[in-house]
Structure formats: structure tokens, C-alpha cells
């Protein structure tokens, strides 16, 4: 029984660390708030459009991709700052590449959003215009 209790206790600690990291990103990264607002708007728009389940799945995976890139970029920046407190060209390169990963994820999310949300949104807009 002790093993099982230790297992669950360690999982609880792991979740605490993960949520602490999530809170850190939201407190310290301005772009995370942009991701949060856009994620919320996309979810509300998808709900309003009554998208099929498969489209929801693609949207959630895409949103998770952007958030994951942001979290990894934040972790990378922290580690680079720790390893190289002084400015160094390689530290700058590491941070720039991390930021590029977030940009690629965000641009991909925009494309996925347009492809999934665009057609049903256009249909709704045409209905409102026709009235």
C-alpha cells in the first residue's frame, strides 16, 4: 500500500510543479496572454459555429502546439540566462531559434484556423448578409 501511496503522492507533486511552471509562463511572458486570448476566441468561435468533433480535435492539437512551443521557449530562455548571464552570440542564437519555433507554431495555427474556421464562418456571414 505504501508503494501505491508514494506513487500517487509523486504524481501530485509532478502536477504541482507543472502548474507552477504554467503560472510562471502566464505571469512572465507577454505573448502567453496573446495565446490565451486567441485560444479562448478560437474555442468560442468553434463552439458558435458548432464544428464537428474532428475539427475540434485538430484545433485543440494546434492550440496545444502553440502553447507547448511557448513553454519550451520560456524554459530555453531561462536555461540560457542561467548558463550565460553575460550577452553571448550563441545565447542570442539559442533564444532567437526558440522564438522562431513559437513563430512557426503560431503561423501554423493561423493557417489551421483559417482552413477550419473560415468556411463555416463565411457561410454564417453570408446568411447574415442575405437577411
CATH number of domain containing 71? 1.10.287.3610
Q: According to the model, what pLDDT value does residue 117 have? A: 98
Question: How far is 40 from 47, CA to CA, in rounded Å?
Answer: 11
- Is 40 a member of any domain? yes
- Is 92 a member of any domain? yes
| Grid cell of 33 as nine digits | 496572454
**What is the pTM assigned to this prediction?**
0.88
- Is 105 a member of any domain? yes
Task: Work out how many domains the chain is built from and give that number.
Answer: 1
Which residue range forms the structural domain that includes residue 125? 31-130
| Residue 99 contacts residue 73 (beta carbons within 8 Å) | yes
Question: Under DSSP, is residue 86 helix (H, G, I), strand (E, B) or coil?
Answer: coil
CA distances from 72 to 28, 100, 118 (A): 14, 12, 29
* 112 DSSP assignment: H
What number of other Cβ atoms are within 10 A of residue 106's Cβ?
A: 19
Q: According to the model, what pLDDT value does residue 107 have? A: 98
Question: Under DSSP, is residue 124 helix (H, G, I), strand (E, B) or coil?
Answer: helix
Q: Could you say which residues of the chain have pLDDT below 50? A: none
- Residues 100, 105, 106, 109: what is their CA dihedral angle, to the nearest 10 degrees? 160
Point out the catalytic residue in the list 69, 70, 71, 109: 70
- Is 25 a member of any domain? no
Question: How far is 88 from 20, CA to CA, in rounded Å?
Answer: 29
Give catalytic status of residue 70 as yes or no.
yes
- Is 111 a member of any domain? yes
**Sequence-ordered strand ranges (E) for the chain:** none
Amino acid at each position: 500500500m505504501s508503494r501505491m501511496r508514494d506513487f500517487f503522492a509523486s504524481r501530485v507533486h509532478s502536477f504541482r510543479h507543472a502548474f507552477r511552471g504554467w503560472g510562471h509562463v502566464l505571469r512572465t511572458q507577454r505573448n502567453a496572454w496573446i495565446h490565451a486570448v486567441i485560444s479562448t476566441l478560437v474555442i468560442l468561435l468553434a463552439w458558435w459555429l458548432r464544428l464537428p468533433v474532428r475539427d475540434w480535435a485538430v484545433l485543440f492539437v494546434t492550440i496545444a502546439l502553440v502553447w507547448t512551443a511557448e513553454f519550451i521557449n520560456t524554459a530555453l530562455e531561462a536555461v540560457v540566462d542561467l548558463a550565460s548571464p553575460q550577452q553571448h552570440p550563441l545565447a542570442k542564437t539559442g533564444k532567437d531559434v526558440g522564438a522562431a519555433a513559437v513563430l512557426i507554431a503560431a503561423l501554423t495555427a493561423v493557417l489551421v484556423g483559417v482552413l477550419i474556421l473560415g468556411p463555416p464562418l463565411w457561410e454564417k456571414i453570408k446568411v447574415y448578409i442575405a437577411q
